[in-house]
A = this chain, B = another copy of it.
Amino acid sequence: MVYVCLMAVDPDHVLRSAAALLTRKSTATMDEVAKAAGISRATLHRHFAGRDALVRALESLGIEECRAALDTARLDEGTASEAVRRLVGAMEPAAGLLAFLYTENQLFEGEEQNAGWSLIDDRISALFRRGQLAGEFRIDLTPAWLTEALYGLMASGAWMVHSGKGAPKDFQHMIVELLLGGALRREES
């Protein structure tokens, strides 16, 4: 007879609470993370061996959300511009978590889970490359740089929204318009 999850704590809920907290305060202690999730530190420790394990799990969550966003954005359909717009919209909910991981991962430099990120980078880079081949995007900016810039702009956008200096509803527009159109005004609308 197998006893499955009696008063089980939802690990996903814990992860999302942790993500929300660490997004705001990246140095939050295990105790704070536990309180934020509404559980005790002991229980938190039962589900995640330690802080490293927690961050790893958060990284996996981030990778998974990115993958899901990439899927729902259907990068192969329509013009590359439209795909970029969909992508930014789909990734918006994960922007805060990504910003946290973006700054945290410099510590795990040259580690293992980079494979997961590489896949995501590749898919985004491929999108920009598709736009270049279609004559839609300029070719003097490498897909790798455009990908990195997309991350940076999403982090800036998330920071702007989080600090109250920008409205969440403008998130997608701000990023897409700047990334694709740039700051220069165009005569041809």
Give chain A's interface residues, CB within 8 Å of chain B. 24-27, 81, 84, 103, 106-107, 128, 131, 135-141, 144-146, 148-149, 151-153, 155-157, 159-160, 165-166, 170, 174, 177-186, 188
Q: Name 20 interchain pairs, CB-CB below 8 A, sorted by A.
A: A25-B106, A27-B107, A131-B183, A137-B183, A137-B184, A138-B181, A138-B183, A139-B185, A141-B178, A144-B166, A145-B178, A146-B178, A148-B156, A148-B166, A152-B153, A152-B155, A178-B179, A180-B182, A180-B183, A180-B184
Contacts of A148 in B (CB 8 A): 156-157, 159-160, 165-166
Contacts of A151 in B (CB 8 A): 156
Q: Is A177's CB under 8 angstroms from B141's CB?
A: yes
Given the complex of chains A and B, what is the CA–CA distance between A107 and B135 in angstroms?
44
Given the complex of chains A and B, what is the CA–CA distance between A128 and B103 in angstroms?
28
Given the complex of chains A and B, what is the CA–CA distance between A27 and B178 in angstroms?
33
Count of identical protomers in the assembly: 2
Contacts of A25 in B (CB 8 A): 106-107
Q: Is A136's CB under 8 angstroms from B182's CB?
A: no
Contacts of A145 in B (CB 8 A): 160, 166, 170, 174, 178
Q: Is A81's CB under 8 angstroms from B184's CB?
A: yes
Contacts of A170 in B (CB 8 A): 145
CB distance from A165 to the nearest CB of B (A): 6
CB distance from A24 to the nearest CB of B (A): 8
Q: Is B149's CB under 8 angstroms from A185's CB?
A: no
Given the complex of chains A and B, what is the CA–CA distance between A137 and B165 in angstroms?
21
Contacts of A146 in B (CB 8 A): 178, 183
